[in-house]
Amino acid sequence: MSHHGAGGDESGSGVPQTTVMYSQLQPWSQAGAPPCMEPVTGPSIPPRVGAAYETNQKHPWRPAMAYELIQVKHLPEQPVTNQLTKQCFLPKGMKTDGMIFPNLVIGFDRNPQHAARAALYTRYTSNEWYNNNLTKYSESNMNRNLSERMRNDAVRLMRETDEKATSGQRDAGRRLGERITDLTFWRNELNAELEKLIAEMSDINELQRQCGKALLDLEIPLHIAQECLFHRESRQGGEKVHDIVEKALLVEINNLRNSRERLGGLHDKISKQALDCRGAQHLLEDDVAHKESSLGIDSMCHQLNNYSRGITYYGGIEKFDPSVSTQESWAMASSEHVRRSQAERKKLSMLRSDSQSVVNSVASTVWDFWSNTNNAFDRRSQEMADAKNRVQLHLQKVQQELFDMEKHLFLLQKAIQDKSGPLKVAQTRLEARSHREGVELCKDHAQDRLVQEVQDIQGTVETLHHKLQEAEAAHQCLLKTRCSLEVDLRNKVNALFIDREKCMSLRRSFPVNNLIKY
């Protein structure tokens, strides 16, 4: 019956519903604690006395005979708790009386014919009585000695267990203190590294902005150089020369494109490094947050003692191991985060120096090529200005020569016209003398001179006509030369206008040195 009562305690004890629900959520539970560690609630538990075997008979020590009838009362089906079976602790309507054995005094009420025989057979002799007393005394002494040894062993065991529990708690507290020291050390290390990394990342953001600005600033010089080439394509005639200006512009455009590729690669490296730094920063922040949480938990655990509030039983918690790392791997993970952050900071420092050198190199080369192109424009403009002046001078000379040639033509024409009078006179004389008669038609000296005069005048007129034709041809050549000089002058003026006004005005109005040098 006592075993039945213990079993009823497990199923019928008043375990709170919240504890049962909590045991379903966690791998440990308060319900699995030993009975001696169960929290005591409600009324105090009375001493464990076998009340079920109490009887109101006069001689309860006298044994019943085997042939005596035994009356058995069945227990109710409701389970018995671990509280004792006194009426004050029983639920309403529950009875747990034990088996009732008939004794010698009242047994004859049921079977009176056997009462005398039962009394005769249960008598003892004096020796048996003394031997029984001695047996009881020795058994008492033996039980008392055994009990005393058990008490001493129990006291010693209690002291040993108390010392072991105290020592274990002290050692666990010391280990928790060491763990707190380690956590504090690594938290400070991670915080210091995180501050350094954040400071470096502020610089990389500025560096990325400067690199992007320099990359954008190169578009304007490239556009200007291409615009200058486009304007110079509008030159005409012999001014479309692959001169030093065009070569300088092509070299400048090539350099600007190479510089843009270098800055683009540098910008991509900075962006990738920024992503890597943000990844290292996330790992550090996550590690610091975890260590702050662990530091709070371990500090709370380090401050707990036997009299702290909120401590309770968690059955089976020692069998649950949620650990995912060891002491060495834990320290190695934090050290790896710090090393990665340091490596990223080192890369960032190298990238900063490289980016500064690249930006300065690009600015220097861009400015050098820009200056070289401007100098080429100046030299070419000076050459074209000198050529234009020479063309203008030659044009003036040709113009003057044309004026002189036109006067010469007029004089030649006048000279030819002036020869018409003498020729008419000479021919008229000859015609008049041809009317002489007879012997008077004499070929005298006068006749010879008149003939010679006409011939001389005709030869002179022919010579003048030949000179007039030559002069007219020279006049036409001068006109053609003047036209050619005028076209060349117009082309040179146009080319000079393009280089000086269109190209140089764009290049002088753009301060490239102030735009990309920081």
Does the residue 338 lie in any domain?
A: yes
Does the residue 61 lie in any domain?
A: no
Does the residue 40 lie in any domain?
A: no
pLDDT at 6: 39
Q: Which residues pair with 71 in a beta bridge?
A: 100
Does the residue 494 lie in any domain?
A: yes
Nearest one of 485, 504, 479 to 238, comparing CA atoms: 485
Does the residue 347 lie in any domain?
A: yes
pLDDT at 50: 45
Q: Residues 6 or more apart from 450 whose CB is under 8 A from it?
A: 426, 429, 430, 433
Nearest one of 371, 344, 362 to 213, comparing CA atoms: 362
pLDDT at 52: 44
CATH number at residue 479: 1.20.250
Does the residue 293 lie in any domain?
A: yes
Q: Which residues pair with 29 in a beta bridge?
A: 315
Residue 348 identity: L
In which domain, by residue range, is 222 found?
178-306+325-435+442-516
Count of structural domains within the chain: 1
C-alpha 375/C-alpha 396 separation (Å) is: 31
pLDDT at 236: 87
Does the residue 202 lie in any domain?
A: yes
C-alpha 362/C-alpha 213 separation (Å) is: 13
C-alpha 35/C-alpha 9 separation (Å) is: 10
Does the residue 35 lie in any domain?
A: no
pLDDT lower than 50: segments of the chain: 1-33, 35-36, 38-53, 65-70, 72, 75-76, 78-85, 95, 99-101, 104-109, 517-518
pLDDT at 43: 44
pTM of the entire structure?
Answer: 0.58
